A and B are shown apart, each in its own frame.
Chain A
Amino acid sequence: MTAAGTARGHGAGKAAPGTDGPVLRIADLAVELPGPHGTRVRAVDGVSFDVPRATTVGLIGESGSGKTMTAHAVLGLPPEGATLTGRLLWHGEDLVTADPARRRAVRGREIAMIFQDPLAALNPTQRIGRQVGEIPRRDRLPRAEVRRRTAELLDRAGIPEPERRMRAYPHELSGGLRQRAVIAMALAGNPELLLADEPTTALDVTVQSRILRLLADIQAADGLAMLLVSHDLRVVSHVAEQVVVMYAGRVCERGPARAALRRPAHPYTAALVRSVPAVRTRTALAAPLPGAPATPANRPDGCAFHPRCPLVRARCRDETPQVREAAPGRWSACHFAEEVLGE
């Protein structure tokens, strides 16, 4: 029995006909959290997008935009007290309504997550090998086989001397090696979709690009789908084919990464691009976004971005824009998307 075979087989068995469909279709997803005084806050509000097979989708937004919450919802580990509505169609099977046992079976083996802070994400009292090899061990593979698999996973994640590093504790490794161990851990269940939550944020700049390259290599070699959550446009522009931009819990824009970042269809994306030095501007000076980001808890009426938008008009204050196809393949939640595209 191979874990991969059964895991994929199960997913494929339930899949809707036609292998060209996305592995994951997020449809009108909302995550409601308990707010102050018994209120409910929609931290994620009506989010829809697809993650196609063997494709990297970048999910961008400032902190509080709901991007990490979306990834946690996909994994089935939303915060305590949260309620999920909408649909998470995993090969056509709705994970929102799936029972907990099925959710658990998907987690780690079909959909795996790479967490942001590798030191916090690793158990400080267990050796690396034990943590990376946990899924094979729980599958009751023979001990030698678990060891071999673990060493192989660490090797795939680019950790030199895997046999030696297996015996190390997390605090004995460098930040880069720790993140590689976390990546190895995520690969242990042969997942089909990797959720990478700010996988390079906690790392030194020099290590960041190597980890990104590793992720891109693994994604390409295994034909994985990857949802790369990041606030860093440069990260996303390097590895993602598709991009989804979130603001205050909602999607503002989605489309092909290159096109969306070169010629945004939403003023927020445009502002983000301008705020990053040397993505678009030739000067080292970036134009920071004016104003404070809106949060789902105090989301302005109408378009959530209107208080900070340079193009704001009367309509933006009252009418919440829907995500619509403004140009072929280019989806935007701006009333004036065509105008933005034309700029």
Chain B
Amino acid sequence: MTRMIVHRLLVGLFVMWGAASLIFLIVRAAPGDPATVLLGPDADHAQIVRLRASLGLDRPLGAQYLSYLGDVCRLDFGESHRLGRPAMDAVLDRLPATVDLTLTATVTAVIVGLTLGMLAGGRPGGLLDRVVSACTIALQSFPTFWTGIMLVLVFALNLRLLPSSGVGTPQHLVLPAVTLAFPFIAIIARLTRTSLVETMSEEYVRTARSKGLTERQVLLGHALRNSLIPVVTVVGVQVGALVGGAVIVENVFAWPGLGSLVVEAVANRDYTVVQGATLLIAGIVVVLNLMADLLVAQLDPRIRTGAV
């Protein structure tokens, strides 16, 4: 168990190094740089060259990369010259809003998705199963920006039940969280259904039936926990994708989270902020995956004792 955790943490470090390196190259591959953006279109060439030099952007890429890695290892994520403050400070300021949003979306998606999946999988081929299947296909196919706009149209503009954008009250959270949760609900529901149907055909479920248990006792006592194992793994991975999906939703709903910060930062070639935010998100994903793995180990003793 300890070995597994250590192993996972080492892999996580490797993943974060990969993410740091990739984003370092990608931001620099985009046309323009912080100097041109900071100085605006009217700046002359000499000014740009001077600012570049002072930002260290005139050095060879390899040298920049090495000093960037060195700084990151010392937890120094650099200054955002556009914002005039340490990049990580700006990122951490925006983090709570994104955490609120993704956490609400995740909890909603897990509760609704598991319920739908269990209802559908409890009776495969039944009416409920077909209805849930149709709904989940729809939920999964609609792009997030479209569902976001539709929800705003219906609940904010027509029914005037909920605010269309911004922050402040819990009501502000509803539409963006639901928008973000929709495709996630679909994924969880479909996976839960499949896994439950598969588990119910396992031989140990037949053994449970052979003890004279009711279907309900079989489901709750033997099938449910085992069918959740693959779901937990996927939820762990998908929450990471959710943080990525939050970028779009935050922009649709003017939600002041990491997503909108990153979009601004990319537009302004604010390298340090993009890098800092990416590293933070990568770190969160690594931790979430580790947590999912630990939870799976908790559910499945074969993994806990290293038998599989």
Contacts and interface: CB of A to CB of B under 8 A. Distances in A.
B212 A109 contact: yes
A327 interface: no
Given A115-B203, A117-B203, A171-B307, A125 B209 contact: no
Given A125-B225, A125-B226, A104 B212 contact: yes
Given A125-B225, A125-B300, A135 B204 contact: no
A104 B207 contact: no
Nearest to A109: B212
Contact of B204 (A120, A138, A171): A120
Contacts of A172: 305, 307
A112 interface: yes
Contacts of A77: 206, 209-210
B207 A124 contact: no
A112 B226 CA distance: 24
Contacts of B305: 169, 171-172
A120 B206 CA distance: 10
B230 interface: no
Given A123-B226, A171-B307, A189 B302 contact: no
Given A169-B305, A185-B207, A124 B300 contact: yes
A135 B206 contact: no
A126 B226 CA distance: 10
- Majority SS of interface residues in chain B? helix
Nearest to B207: A121
A88 interface: no
Contacts of B210: 75, 77, 107-108, 112-113, 115
12 contacts: A108-B210, A121-B207, A123-B226, A124-B300, A125-B300, A134-B211, A134-B221, A138-B213, A138-B217, A169-B305, A171-B301, A171-B307
B297 to A, nearest CB: 11
B182 to A, nearest CB: 31
Contacts of A124: 204, 226, 300-302
B228 to A, nearest CB: 10
A312 to B, nearest CB: 39
B212 A169 contact: no
The 9 lowest CB-CB distance pairs between A and B, nearest first, are A108-B212, A120-B203, A108-B211, A107-B212, A123-B204, A169-B301, A121-B207, A104-B212, A113-B210
B172 interface: no
A340 B77 CA distance: 91
B64 interface: no
Interface string B293-306: 00000011110010
Contacts of B207: 115, 121-123, 131, 182, 185
Contacts of A188: 211
Interface in B249-300: 299-300
B72 interface: no
B211 A135 contact: yes
A60 interface: no
Contacts of B226: 123-125
Nearest to B201: A80
A138 B204 CA distance: 17
A112 B207 CA distance: 10
A138 B221 CA distance: 11
Contacts of A278: none
Contact of A105 (B203, B212, B222): B212
A186 to B, nearest CB: 8
Contacts of A131: 207
Given A105-B212, A113-B210, A123 B222 contact: yes
Interface string A146-186: 00000000000000000000000101100000000010010
A138 B208 CA distance: 12
A135 B210 CA distance: 11
